[in-house]
């Protein structure tokens, strides 16, 4: 029978975690697919994997407030991104349907 150990480690909160310093980040090893890489290679790999690009955009305050209210535990930026993606996909779908219908009607 497998032996089980019970530890009496106190539950910690984020406040109990040690504060990270710039030295901690400077000493970090950057790895991609199990191999050490430099910062530029790591950033390229992260961008390629995520498929996102960092931009600055100005949005009206009511728009941000709306998405923050909807967000709940998700990030409001994720909701904005998802909404924009649906608009693009719907637009393409609508345009494709219109084209197919026109083609069919012309026969």
Domain count, the chain: 2
Within a domain: 16:
no
- The residues pairing with 32 across neighbouring beta strands, listed in sequence order, are 35
Are residue 106 and residue 62 in the same domain, yes or no? Answer: yes
With beta carbons less than 8 A apart as the criterion, state whether 37 and 45 touch.
Answer: yes
CA distances from 89 to 32, 47, 50, 66 (A): 32, 22, 19, 22
Cα dihedral value 76, 80, 83, 85, nearest 10: -120
With beta carbons less than 8 A apart as the criterion, state whether 88 and 94 touch.
Answer: no
Provide the domain limits for residue 70: 58-107
Are residue 64 and residue 105 in the same domain, yes or no? Answer: yes
Write down the pTM of the prediction.
0.44
Within a domain: 37:
yes
7-58 confidence digits (pLDDT tens): 555 555 556 778 888 888 788 888 888 889 988 888 888 777 767 777 899 9
Within a domain: 95:
yes
To the nearest whole number, what is the mean pLDDT of the chain? 81
């Amino acid at each position: 029978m497998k032996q089980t150990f019970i530890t009496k480690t106190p539950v910690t909160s984020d406040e109990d975690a040690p504060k990270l310093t710039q030295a901690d980040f400077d000493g970090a090893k950057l790895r991609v697919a199990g191999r050490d890489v430099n910062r530029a290679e790591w950033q390229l790999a992260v961008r390629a994997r995520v498929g996102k690009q960092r931009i600055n955009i100005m949005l009206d305050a009511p728009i941000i407030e709306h998405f923050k209210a909807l967000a709940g535990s998700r990030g409001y930026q994720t909701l904005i991104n998802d909404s924009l993606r649906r608009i693009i996909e719907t637009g393409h779908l609508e345009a494709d349907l219109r084209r197919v219908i026109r083609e069919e009607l012309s026969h």
